[in-house]
Amino acid sequence: MKHKIYVVFSICAALTLFLSACGAETQPTPDAAAISTSAAQTVEARFTLQAALQATETPAPPAETPMPAATSTLGYPPTQTTAPGLPSPTSNGKPCYAMTFVSDVSIPDGMIMAPGAKFTKTWRVRNDGNCVWDPSYTLELAMGDAMSTVTKIPLTKTVYPDDSIDFSVDMVAPDTNGTYAGYWHVATPYGGYMGVGSYNQNLVVKIQVTTKPDLAFGAVSVAYDYTRRPEKGCTSAGAYYDFSATITANGPGEFQYRWDRNPFDGKVEGGVLKFAAAGSKTVYFTWHMTADHLQDIDRWVGITTVVDSKETRFDRIMFRYTCAP
Per residue in 66-99, pLDDT tens?
A: 443 333 333 333 333 333 345 655 556 789 999 9
Q: Is residue 249 part of a domain?
A: yes
Residue 15 has φ and ψ, to the nearest 5°, of -65, -40
Per residue in 251-303, pLDDT tens?
A: 889 999 999 999 988 888 999 999 998 888 999 999 999 988 999 999 999 99
pTM: 0.51
Q: Is residue 89 part of a domain?
A: no
Q: Is residue 79 part of a domain?
A: no
pLDDT recorded at residue 87: 60
Q: Is residue 86 part of a domain?
A: no
Residue 157, pLDDT > 90, answer yes
Q: Is residue 48 part of a domain?
A: no
Which of 182, 213, 244 is the last residue in one of the domains?
213
Residue among 316, 261, 323 at smallest CA distance from 292: 323
Whole-angstrom CA distances from 137 to 54, 97, 101, 128, 212 are 74, 12, 17, 16, 40
225 lies in the same domain as 197: no
230 lies in the same domain as 303: yes
206 lies in the same domain as 282: no
CB 158, CB 133: distance < 8 Å: yes
Which of 213, 242, 263 is the last residue in one of the domains?
213
Number of domains in the chain: 2
Domain hosting 148: range is 99-213
> Residue 300 sits in a domain of what CATH number?
2.60.40.10
205 lies in the same domain as 109: yes
Q: Is residue 71 part of a domain?
A: no
Q: Is residue 117 part of a domain?
A: yes
Residue 48, pLDDT > 70, answer no
Which of 213, 228, 255 is the last residue in one of the domains?
213
236 lies in the same domain as 175: no
194 lies in the same domain as 234: no
Residue among 213, 125, 218 at smallest CA distance from 177: 213
CB 130, CB 145: distance < 8 Å: no
Q: Is residue 134 part of a domain?
A: yes
110 lies in the same domain as 205: yes
pLDDT recorded at residue 325: 82
198 lies in the same domain as 112: yes
